[in-house]
Amino acid sequence: MRAGPGLSPTGGVAAYCTRVPLQPGLAAKVVLDVCDADTAMALRTGEVAVLGTPRLIAACEEATVSAIAGHVPPGHTTVGMRVQLDHLAPTPVGGAVTAEARLDKIEGRRLTFSVSASDDRGLIAAGKVTRVVVDVDKFMDKCT
């Protein structure tokens, strides 16, 4: 396949092919103490008072950000691009959830993490999160 302007030979945007100075293996974990505001009812995504999936996703994304903290070049940050998460078991209000992330793959500016979350009863979620390294000023210019 021949690449056109702004495209890589694989058909993606060339900007995604820009290399970033990160290495696979960076990892972090965060702990969430589930409160009423974290429930599916409070988030309006369900009718039960257990940890809501959107809040679980946020905890997993927080772990990805923590994993690469201090490793992203100045003037840059990462933004979420894709989340693939299986929410496997409920966690009640008062439970503690540990979300973990590990940087598995770097493709240009795309960072793919394995994520999981557990509570005192075991695994409650597992999946992948993809983030993209962006120049903060250029990214914010897109908002205007």
Q: Is there a catalytic annotation at residue 87?
A: yes
CB distance 66 to 30 below 8 Å: yes
Respond yes or no: is residue 61 known to be catalytic: yes
Find the catalytic residue in 39, 61, 64, 100. 61
- Calculate the alpha carbon distances from 10 to 4, 14, 52, 102 in Å: 11, 9, 37, 26
Q: What is the rounded distance in angstroms from the CA atom of residue 144 to the CA atom of residue 124? A: 39
Helix (H, G, I), strand (E, B) or coil at 17: helix
Beta strands in the chain (DSSP E): 27-33, 76-87, 96-107, 110-119, 122-135
DSSP bridge pairs for 17: none
DSSP-assigned beta bridge partners for residue 111: 106, 131
Tokens 């390294």 belong to: 133
- Bridge partner list, 102: 27, 114
Catalytic-role residue among 78, 87, 91, 100 = 87
53, 77, 98, 130: the active-site residue: 53
Any catalytic annotation for residue 53?
yes
Catalytic residues: 53, 61, 87
